[in-house]
Structure 1
Amino acid sequence: MAVSRIAPIAALLVVLAAPALAQEPTVELQPADPGSAVVEELLVVARPPGPALWLVEKNGAKLYVLGSAAPLPHQLKWDSPRLNRALDQAGLVLLPPEASVGPMQITKFMLTGGGGVRQGFGKKLEDRLPPDLKARFINARTQARRTAIPYKDWKPAVAGFLVLSDFRQAAGLSEAKPVSTIERMAKAKGVKVKAMSQYRLGPVLGAAGKLSDEANLACLKDALDEVDYEAPRWRTLGQDWADGDIAAVRARYSASAAQRCLLRAPGGAGLLDDQIGQSAKALSEALARPGVTVAVVDLAFLLPRNGVLDRLRAQGATVTSPN
């Protein structure tokens, strides 16, 4: 198993990686959720050009938070004078957590037959799918310009997220954007860039291997639903993000395939809360230092009630929309 094929699995299933926490109230992603109080307040503000950007201030330190919403078309054109001004002032840019993949993890993954996320010997994925899901999966991989071979040994959940990733690549959608673009902008200005933290591959694959048969099929359906949503929209996907239209972004992004799969996993809501908490902690630490920091945070961590911005304000920070 090549490193290049393991990395997408880690990135796509990181939402299943850790145990739930009990000490914090969990976030809610149900349709009735009123969402982040901070985000709601700023929705009434006239939108300046570019993606949504928040200014967080505490004890003289400034933190500009840009919400990301992957995937985006490779050719999407967007500009943000506010982000450019923030980068001109910044001494540091914080990017989302990144995967840590070591040789020991790869060896263990191979020796254990895929860590529980691979089909049993002699069992092929498509032969084991219900007829309706089999037809949809074949349609999705056809759109991704793939045969059955790359997916045949994977369990449904992993196969679903892999075909979603392959479809996006074939359609010209980038799961790395806008983070890669902002990283390039920062480096061009000589601003230091670093990830907020790292996550290990092992727990991700271990948790994915414990999904029940029913949960595997549900997660596959989630991924195929995402393909069906993105297929007719791949040219314009993300324009709402580029325009700073948070209401529209929420409508398409706050219930992504990964989130729906997460909420079907035991302790999933608590896991999301843990990840939001880690991001809030990293940004809180940035506010403890003098100067200006720019952070890129997934909008899935900003939009829910008790999300990152809500938590920073609860810690005494002031959150506004910069001019």
Structure 2
Amino acid sequence: MRSYRLVPWMIPFLLFATATLAQPQEPAPSDPPPGGAVSDGPVIEMEAVVVSGVQPGPGLWKVRHGDHILYVLGTQSPLPKNITWRSDEVTLALQHADEVLGSPGITVDADVGFFRGLTMVPSAMKAMKNPDGEKLQDVLPADLYARWSMLKRQYMGRDGGIEKKRPLIAVFQLYQEALSRSGMKETGVIDPVINEVLKARKMKRTPTVLKVDIDDPRAALADFRKETLKGEDLACFRTTLDVIENDLPQVAARANAWAVGDWAALRSTAREDQRLACLSAWFNTETARKRGLTDLEQRMRATWLETAEGALRRNRITFATLPVSQLVKADGYLAHLQAKGYAVEAPE
């Protein structure tokens, strides 16, 4: 499901963009420490228990067009990091598929060579930091910085360098550390299994990503370095802290439900990964608007649907992957296919 291609100059734009665009989730907010001061008391860590060992994962969805069929695997992120995913149903479908579709996403491209791209790395690294040498304590409200400091101490210890980074980058790195400490990871479970079958068949995935071109990446970096903190940035930062403080057991429950193939639990707990909601903060900037990075979710969905419908028309068997949330929500990708007259079958 990781379909964003990251080149050096893109780092500050797409550090969060490693999966499908999504609608924001709204976990219950938590109260900040009184007075905005960092508490010296212990941090209470809620238990997040994840499964391990060999697990089957969820059953496949089916989309039918006459006698042509599209098998769809629902993907979930994060997943338990100590599982081995083994699905006979997925392997069989891949072995018979005429075509395998990649996951939806965005690739931002520019007409630069490899070596020119390397020369932009220093500028990209600078763009990841707050303007004018400010630190998180200088740019965040006191209550948010207090919560950040407490969670950073719990999950990252004494990492002084992160205090100079932009809030979205800093809180994303904190979230990654919290996931790891809770026994979860975002990559390395699903793709290796699919890639092994494709390698044996000498097949490649058909891309379904939306391609966005940027003519002058150096100018884009220069513009981005001037961007200051926005309301969307603070909303993303606060929401991510809410998840780390309160929601890790629920995140683990969704990961477990995927691993053991419990579709009832997946349906009832399906939620978008909160860091994907933070994409709105990245792309709701003057830098992005000037370069046409608008209406991305709708354009990305249209790109996937066009590719999937073409595959359904020409192939007897097609295989694809989509986030679980896009399979179960009322306006998800499969709902759009169903509205066009395709027969959609959920797993038993």
Q: Is 1:132 the equivalent of 2:143?
A: yes
Name the structure, 1 or 2, with higher relative contact order (CA <8 Å, separation 6+). 1
Q: Percent identity?
A: 24
Deviations 1:262-299 (Å, cap 9, x if unpaired)? Answer: 56775999533332222222212221222322111122
Pick closer, same or farther for the CA change 1:178–1:282 going to 2, 3 Å: farther
Report the secondary structure of 1:279's partner residue. helix
CA positional deviation for 1:113: 7.0
Secondary structure in structure 2 of the residue aligned to 1:196: coil
Equivalent in the alignment of 1:196: 208
| Partner residue in 1 for 2:232 | 215
How far the C-alpha of 1:62 sits from its partner, in A, is: 1.8
Shift, 1:239, TM fit: 1.2
Q: Which runs of 5+ in 2 are unaligned?
A: 1-5, 27-55
Secondary structure, aligned partner of 1:126:
helix
User: Partner residue of 2:16?
Assistant: 12
Larger deviation: 136-145 or 215-224?
Answer: 136-145
Q: What residue is the counterpart of 1:61 in the other structure?
A: 68
Q: How does 1:1-323 map to 2 (within 5 A)?
A: 10=14, 12-13=16-17, 50-96=57-103, 97=105, 99=107, 103=114, 104=116, 107-108=119-120, 110-111=122-123, 114-115=126-127, 118-145=129-156, 147-187=158-198, 189-190=200-201, 192-194=203-205, 195-197=207-209, 199=211, 212-229=229-246, 231-232=248-249, 238-262=255-279, 270-321=295-346
Q: Which has the larger radius of gyration?
A: 2
TM-score using structure 2 length: 0.67
Does the CA contact (< 8 Å) of 1:52 and 1:241 recur in 2?
A: no
* Secondary structure of the corresponding residue to residue 274 of structure 1: helix
CA contact (8 A) 1:186 1:193 kept: no
Local SS of the residue matching 1:288: helix
Counterpart in the other structure of 1:38: none
SS in 2 for 1:227: helix
Q: Which is worse superposed, 193-202 or 144-153?
A: 193-202
TM-score of the pair, normalised by structure 1: 0.71
User: CA, structure 1 residues 163+208, in 2 after alignment: closer, same or farther (shift >3 Å)?
Assistant: farther
Given that residues 136 and 164 in structure 2 are in contact (C-alpha distance below 8 angstroms), is that contact kept between their aligned partners in structure 1?
yes
Distance 1:155 1:70 in 2: 24
Pairs aligned (count): 295
Deviation at 1:128, TM superposition (A): 2.9
Stretches of structure 1 lacking an aligned partner (at least 5 in a row): 18-26, 32-48
Shift of residue 28, structure 1, vs aligned partner: 7.3
Whether the aligned pair in 1 keeps the contact of 2:139 and 2:229 (CA below 8 Å) is no
Deviates more, 1:202-211 or 1:142-151: 202-211
1:50, 1:187 → 2: CA distance?
19
Question: Any conservation in 1 of the 2:101–2:320 contact (CA below 8 Å)?
Answer: yes
RMSD of equivalent CA atoms: 4.1
